[in-house]
A and B are shown apart, each in its own frame.
Chain A
Amino acid sequence: MITHPTAEQLARAVGAWIDEIRPQLDERNAFLARVAANAVALIGRELAQGAEIEAAAADRFAKLLGFTGGYEELSAELCARLRAGVYGVQTPGLLAALKASALDQLAIDQPNYKHEAL
């Protein structure tokens, strides 16, 4: 692995270049360029935090479900129990666990989004 630059640094460099050329673009392309700059910034955040938040979500889901496993497996089982109504809003710890994971995901996707509980 080359670490100079890291993938995260490359994403940052691409984002900076898009910001540089944006003022020269027509309205539609300036809008799309802003979206593209947001996308590479998101990629940078996911590279930095993605593995950690997935592991944290797996931990939370394992505690809820009472067994350990990979994120995919735990998430699928949690979805199955929620869909069947075995778990619901009244399940102890459920909302707190889902909220913590949703906030982690939001920090990658849209760190500036203002949600109702802020």
Chain B
Amino acid sequence: METDVLVGLGRLAARLRGPHACLVDARRLSGGASLETWAFDIDAAGEPDRLILRRRAFPKVDPTGFQSVNLAGEAALLRAAAAAGAPVPPLIHLCDEADGLGEAHVTSRIDGETLGRRIVTDPAYESVRPGLARQCGEIMARIHGAPPPPGIGLAVEDAPVVLDRYERLYRAIGPERPILELAFRHLRVNAPDPVAPVLVHGDFRNGNLIIDPGVGVAAVLDWEMAHLGDPAEDLGWICVNSWRFGRPDRPVGGFGDYAELMAGYEQGGGPAIPLGRVRYWQAMGSLMWAVICMRMYDSWASGLTNSVERPMIGRRVSEAEIDLINLFEAGL
């Protein structure tokens, strides 16, 4: 399989930059289970092109029953986001049959850090860290204002639809947990008034951002979960405590405050969104994370995967539970 990809990348070098172009450096980056990410360079007399290949290695099995977009859809989203002024890796090429790489696309390679803990703690990011929450808000506003790309099968989900989907998953796994029962009921009864759905990223969090020590947010990655929904979903998701990396005092990704996120959002042209609505979606995020953790365990228990990592993630349900209780105690 790896040699096939290398052969395919060699062919791609010629296709993109002419017959004398050659593939100089190709390595697989660690990443998701079903999606492979490869970093590679094409040398064609002059500065080499520094590129990223994303390709589906295994058929798509979404652990949460969500209708995620495929890589052609992601390519359309990258174009739409770029046109709206959101920083994304520029799309270079959407692969077709002639490339022999399966479902795949190529983007430019953006320098910077994606590991959340480093972004939160490494002194190299000290100077950009105070501006990150504002930048994230501004970028979200641009995404939410973008015309959704047609024909890529974007799901439409508001809070009740998300609750239905996750509750079905939770009931199917089996074990009942008091805090999750409370959360499903409480979030259902207190669902916010519906708003006109906008294009939301769906997985906008510290971990899916490339942070550059000079400019801050250099790119937003992983558009597979994009859908049409409540704009507060993106604002709440980046505030989920599970991705604050040991800095619960900085609610936005472990690097910023709610007020900075909202100020950036309005600066980017977004409407004012009440903090309560963001905190509602933050709680929804913790509930979703709890169910995802249970599903990870379940994929191991049912024999689908055998990594020791999966059952251990099942014990992260308790982090989501304490975060939910804290939100309810704070009056959500």
Residue positions of A touching B, CB distance < 8 A: 27-28, 31-32, 35-36, 38-39, 42, 61, 75-76, 78-79, 82-83, 85, 87-89, 94-95, 98-99, 101-103, 105-106, 108-110, 113-118
20 further A-B pairs in the complex, CB-CB below 8 A; given A102-B321, A113-B319: A27-B30, A32-B309, A35-B312, A39-B312, A79-B176, A82-B178, A88-B189, A89-B182, A89-B186, A94-B182, A101-B178, A102-B179, A106-B321, A114-B246, A115-B248, A115-B319, A115-B322, A116-B251, A116-B323, A117-B329
Distance in angstroms between the alpha carbons of A47 and B298 in the assembled complex: 23
Q: Does B325 lie within 8 Å of A105, measured CB to CB? A: no
Q: Which residues of A contact B178 (CB under 8 A)?
A: 61, 75, 78-79, 82, 98, 101
Main SS of the interface on chain B? helix
Q: Which residues of A contact B321 (CB under 8 A)?
A: 102, 105-106
Q: Does B184 lie within 8 Å of A110, measured CB to CB? A: no
Contact with A along B163-180 (1 / 0, CB 8 A): 000000000000011110
Q: Does B322 lie within 8 Å of A83, measured CB to CB? A: no
Interface residue ranges of B296-314 to A (CB < 8 Å): 307-309, 311-312
Q: Which residues of B contact A118 (CB under 8 A)?
A: 248
B50 interfacial by beta-carbon distance below 8 Å: no
Q: Which residues of B contact A36 (CB under 8 A)?
A: 308
Distance in angstroms between the alpha carbons of A104 and B230 in the assembled complex: 35
The tally of residues in B whose CB lies under 8 Å from a CB in A reads: 35
Interface residue ranges of B275-326 to A (CB < 8 Å): 307-309, 311-312, 315-316, 318-319, 321-323, 325-326
Q: Smallest CB–CB gap between A88 and chain B, Å? A: 6
Main SS of the interface on chain A? helix
Residue positions of B touching A, CB distance < 8 A: 30, 176-179, 181-182, 184-186, 189, 241, 244, 246-248, 251, 307-309, 311-312, 315-316, 318-319, 321-323, 325-330
Q: Does A85 lie within 8 Å of B185, measured CB to CB? A: yes
Question: Given A78-B178, A114-B246, are A83 and B185 neighbors across the interface (CB < 8 Å)?
Answer: yes
Determine which of B176, B247, B309 lies in contact with A35 in the assembled complex, contact meaning CB atoms within 8 Å.
B309
Q: Does B318 lie within 8 Å of A88, measured CB to CB? A: no
